[in-house]
Chain A
Amino acid sequence: MAQVDAASALFGNDTRSAVLVAIRLLGQTWASELALLLGLRLFSVQRVLAAFEREGVIVGRKQGRTRVFSLNPRYFAAKELDALLWKLGQVDTGLQKQLSATRRRPRETGKDAA
């Protein structure tokens, strides 16, 4: 589980905070990726994502069979929330290391995974 100590009270609990900060750092992500990176159960992440979506904090859209989430740019305090989450992510080196567990940059077709 990520640290996100400074944020844990702000967003309700550790899981909600870690998910929100991770979405900010990753830009776009999906439930199974978050569950893997944060060491959380998929169901827990899906529940948190659904709650944030209902609250208008994040938005989801379909890409193939996957629902991809990002911060909602039309949230009334989008700019302020964006800056706060970035700052929380910047000081949370533990979370940054967790997010490094998967490769997100493109890989040329035919290259072996390394």
Chain B
Amino acid sequence: MITEQSTLTDVAYAVSTALHRVKVTSVLTAGSAATFYAPEAYQSLDLDFVITMRGEDGGADALRALGFELHGQFYRHPKTRFTLDFPRGPLAIGDDVITKWSTVRRAPELLHVLTPTDSCRDRLASVLFWNDFSGLEQALAVLRAQRRRVSLKVISDWCQRERQGAKGELFLSRARVKRGSKRG
């Protein structure tokens, strides 16, 4: 149940589970995925879910049963400030279409969410394509929170494929310094 005390993570689990039960697969992405991984460092107020598999009614009834109502193109709930958005797919980061994600469980709930590596790439995309340095700090926050689960090689290769190696190096050089200082 969603209450005024629900965190973004609580809402994410509730929505993902409700949709899963009606055979709708929705993956938490964008800033909300970064908040899921690094809640102390970055707080998003909207949850972005990309639908990768749609059930018969698209999950609208399930969302209504949770207490969400559609206002314009966003879902709002009377007891939480967090809003829901379902941006048009496909689930992609730059030119890469994402076909694998993390499925985490908090019995009896489950949540589909970008992997930590892809969440870093997703935040980093803001720097690569918009020169938005808030994305750089968010990517570093996810890295710090999920250090063992982030592949710098995957991120480096992706930056090269996007022909943005120099901007990728802004992230990678700071990521390597942190890793180096940990070992030292």
The chain A residues found within 8 Å of chain B, CB to CB, are: 25-28, 86, 89-90, 93, 96-97, 99-106, 108, 110-112, 114
Main secondary structure of the interface of A (DSSP, over half): loop
Verify A96–B131 contact, CB threshold 8 A. no
A101 with B131, Cβ < 8 A, contacts A86-B166, A93-B174 known: no
Cα A26 to Cα B127 with chains together (Å): 9
Verify B46–A111 contact, CB threshold 8 A. yes
Residue of A nearest to B44 (CB): A114
Verify A104–B169 contact, CB threshold 8 A. no
Q: Mark B50-85, 1 if CB is under 8 A from A, else 0.
A: 000000000000000000000011100000000101
Verify B131–A25 contact, CB threshold 8 A. yes
Verify A100–B45 contact, CB threshold 8 A. no
In the complex, which residues of chain A have a beta carbon less than 8 angstroms from the beta carbon of B5?
none
Verify B137–A97 contact, CB threshold 8 A. yes
A25 with B133, Cβ < 8 A, contacts A90-B169, A114-B44 known: yes
Verify B45–A112 contact, CB threshold 8 A. yes
Q: Which 3 pairs between the two chains have the least Cβ-Cβ distance? A: A114-B45, A104-B132, A99-B133
What is the size category of the interface that chain B forms with chain A? 20 to 34
Minimum CB–CB distance for B162 against chain A, Å: 15
In the complex, which residues of chain B have a beta carbon less than 8 angstroms from the beta carbon of A89?
170
Q: Mark B86-97, 1 if CB is under 8 A from A, else 0.
A: 010000000000
Verify B130–A104 contact, CB threshold 8 A. yes
Verify B131–A104 contact, CB threshold 8 A. yes
Within 93-151 of B, Cβ neighbours of A (below 8 Å) are at 126, 129-137
In the complex, which residues of chain A have a beta carbon less than 8 angstroms from the beta carbon of B72?
110
In the complex, which residues of chain B have a beta carbon less than 8 angstroms from the beta carbon of A106?
130
A sample of 14 inter-chain contacts (CB < 8 A) reads: A86-B166, A90-B173, A99-B133, A100-B134, A104-B130, A104-B131, A104-B134, A105-B129, A105-B130, A105-B134, A108-B73, A110-B73, A112-B83, A114-B31
Verify A105–B126 contact, CB threshold 8 A. yes
In the complex, which residues of chain A have a beta carbon less than 8 angstroms from the beta carbon of B136?
96, 100
In the complex, which residues of chain A have a beta carbon less than 8 angstroms from the beta carbon of B160?
none
| Residue B3 at the chain A interface, CB threshold 8 Å | no
